[in-house]
Homo-oligomer: A and B are copies of this chain.
Amino acid sequence: MSTREGQYRLGAFLLNTGHHVAAWRHPNAWSENGLNFAQYKRLAQTAEQAKFDMIFFADGVAVRREHSTDSLTRSGQIVYFEPITLLSALSAVTEHIGLVATASTTYNEPYHIARKFASLDYLSGGRAGWNVVTSATHAEARNFNREQHMDHELRYERAREFVQVVTGLWDSWTDDAFIRDKETGVYFDADKLHVLNHKGDHFSVQGPLNVARPIQGYPVIIQAGASDTGRDFAAATSEVIFTAQQTLADAQAFYADIKRQAVAYGRNPEHVKIMPGIFAVIGQTESEAKEKYDYLQSLIHPSVGLSLLSGLVGGVDLSSYPLDGPLPDLPETNLQKSRLQLVTELARRDNLTIRQLYEAVAGARGHRTIWGTPEQIADQLEEWYINEAADGFNIMPPYLPDGLDEFVEQVVPILQKRGRFRTEYEGRTLRENLGLPRPVNQFSETPIPATVS
Contact = CB atoms under 8 A, between A and B. Distances in A.
Interface of A: 22, 24-27, 29, 31-32, 35, 37, 41, 60-63, 69, 72-76, 78-82, 84-86, 88-93, 107-109, 111-112, 115-116, 118-120, 122-123, 139, 142-146, 173, 178, 180, 182, 185-190, 203-212, 299, 301, 304
Contact of A204 (B24, B25, B142): B142
B73 A186 contact: yes
A180 B375 CA distance: 35
B92 A210 contact: no
B178 A32 contact: yes
Given A78-B210, A92-B92, A145-B205, 4 more contacts: A29-B182, A37-B123, A61-B210, A90-B92
Given A41-B92, A206-B139, A182 B85 contact: no
A209 B142 CA distance: 12
25 contacts: A24-B187, A25-B185, A26-B182, A29-B182, A35-B211, A35-B212, A37-B91, A60-B210, A61-B112, A69-B190, A73-B187, A73-B189, A73-B190, A74-B187, A79-B178, A79-B212, A84-B85, A84-B88, A90-B92, A92-B93, A112-B112, A139-B206, A143-B205, A145-B203, A185-B304
A86 B89 CA distance: 8
Contacts of A73: 186-190
Contacts of A85: 84-85, 88, 116, 119-120, 123
A190 B72 contact: yes
Please indicate which of the listed interface residues A76, A85, A173, A186 has the most CB atoms of chain B within 10 Å of its own CB. A85
Contacts of A74: 185-187
B115 A82 contact: yes
Contacts of A86: 88, 119, 123
Contacts of A89: 88-89, 91-92, 123
Please indicate which of the listed interface residues A41, A182, A206, A299 has the most CB atoms of chain B within 10 Å of its own CB. A206
A204 B25 CA distance: 35
Nearest to A70: B190
**Copies, count:** 2
A79 B204 contact: no
Nearest to A179: B73
A196 to B, nearest CB: 9
Given A72-B190, A123-B85, A79 B109 contact: no
B210 A63 contact: yes
A439 B123 CA distance: 33
A195 to B, nearest CB: 9
A178 B146 CA distance: 29
Contacts of A204: 142, 145-146
A24 B178 contact: no
Contacts of A32: 178, 180
B111 A61 contact: yes
B80 A210 contact: yes
Contact of A143 (B72, B93, B111): B111
Please indicate which of the listed interface residues A24, A73, A91, A189 has the most CB atoms of chain B within 10 Å of its own CB. A73
A82 B122 CA distance: 10
Contacts of A205: 142-145
A137 to B, nearest CB: 11
A410 B434 CA distance: 49
Q: Which 6 A-B pairs have the closest CB atoms?
A: A88-B88, A142-B206, A82-B119, A92-B92, A85-B88, A85-B119
A182 B27 contact: yes
A72 B203 CA distance: 26
A138 to B, nearest CB: 9
Given A35-B212, A41-B92, A81 B203 contact: no
A81 B142 contact: no
Given A35-B212, A37-B123, A92-B92, A185 B22 contact: yes
